Amino acid sequence: MNGPLPRTLRPLTIPASWIWRLLINRRNRRFDHGIGVHRASVPVIAVGNLTTGGTGKTPMVQWITDRLLDAGRRPCVCLRGYGARAGTQSDEQQLYESAWTDVPVLAAPDRAGALADHLSGDVDTDCAVLDDGFQHRHLDRDLDLVLVDASRPLDRQRLLPDGHLREPCSSLSRASAVIVTHAAAVDPELSSFIEHWHGSPPLAWTEHRWTCVHVHSASDCIEQRTAWLSGRRFVTRLGIGHPDAVHEQLHAAGATTVFNMPAADHAPFGKAELSELAQRAAGADGIFMTAKDWVKARPLRDVLGDVPVIVPLLRLRFLSGQADLLERIEAVTTPLAASGG
């Protein structure tokens, strides 16, 4: 399956993708003319992509926010809050709020409005990081970063609903810079493809690496090196956009998946599902899930009994371009740049 829907539906999804292209082009033309675009009173850095599913936006948002804090800036993070049930927080909001104690996290479909409301109060916020913001064009941005997953090159993608592209590759031309994620090395062919559509080669190349794993038991949490995974057997439940990448890393670490419970991106947990996971994990070494999954499962931890939950700690590592990206961030968030001087 190359798209979000079964290939048997291609007689329907192909013409539907043509209609999608027309709608996207019309929408973009409206924003290109400034219609419905709101300018915030602080610099905005957007992190987004062209495809559905995970390209590593969350680790990039965390990395940028950490660098802003290191530089003495006072950022907030804006996100849609996708997947949140009524009266609850999304997994991403919970993850961001657990990462920092002094960074406001604004979750609302109307991110431009939420940011404006936040800034109208007595706050110290002097810049904003917009999560999944490439298509959220209602909010103007000073730095527009698009992430491209090296493991799922754009030249093999098709437009929704026939494929996973949210908009055509030509949309890369409006990005400030393109950053490649999940890369093992700089790929000249992918670089040329991006340069063709964007006008410049990728600004940076990154990989996502597990630095350790946290083993959560019923009573405590123990940090283990990733070598601890080797030879162990796990049940997996990965409610993320690109679970295959996690399975590949898990198997590369020497572990075996004895059962995988499929889950949609951002899918919440229920007691029945966790109970089944616990039963499936009998005889295995635990349940493996991402940090985004764990923040949702943790309140129901008692359902799992003594079954351990293994959560990898993910960190972004730059293969190239880190200094260039830091320079771009500094250029748009320094007080001089913010004042237009």
- The per-residue pLDDT for range 137-176, each reduced to its tens digit, is 999 999 999 999 998 878 878 999 998 899 999 999 999 9
Mean pLDDT of 104-123: 94
Strand spans (E) along the chain: 44-49, 75-79, 105-107, 127-131, 143-149, 177-181, 204-216, 221-224, 233-237, 256-261, 287-288, 309-320
Q: Which fold has domain 209-315?
A: Rossmann fold (3.40.50)
In tens, the pLDDT along 307-335 reads 999 999 988 999 999 999 999 999 999 87
Residues 283, 305 contacting (CB under 8 angstroms): no
CA dihedral 226, 227, 229, 230 (to 10 degrees): 150
Instruction: With a cut of 70, say whether residue 22 has pLDDT above it.
Output: yes
Q: Which fold has domain 7-203+321-338?
A: Rossmann fold (3.40.50)
Mean pLDDT of 51-68: 92
pTM: 0.90
**Least confident window among 137-141, 216-220, 229-233:** 216-220
**Most confident of the ranges 53-57, 167-171, 263-267:** 167-171
Instruction: With a cut of 60, say whether residue 341 has pLDDT above it.
Output: no
In tens, the pLDDT along 186-214 reads 999 999 999 999 999 999 999 988 999 99
At how many degrees (to 10) do helices 57-70 and 322-333 cross? Answer: 60
CA 9 to chain centre: 28
Whether residue 161 is preceded by a cis peptide bond, meaning omega within 30 degrees of 0, is yes
Q: Which residues of the chain form CATH 3.40.50?
A: 7-203+321-338, 209-315
Higher-confidence residue: 86 or 60? 60
Provide the pLDDT for residue 15: 92
Provide the pLDDT for residue 127: 97
Q: Nearest-CA neighbor of 250 among 316, 304, 311, 184?
A: 311
Provide the pLDDT for residue 153: 77
Mean pLDDT of 32-39: 96
Helix (H) or strand (E) holding 329: helix 322-333
pLDDT band at 84 (very low <50, low <70, confident <90, very high): low
- For 239, the 3-state DSSP assignment is coil
Structure tokens at 252: 């590369």
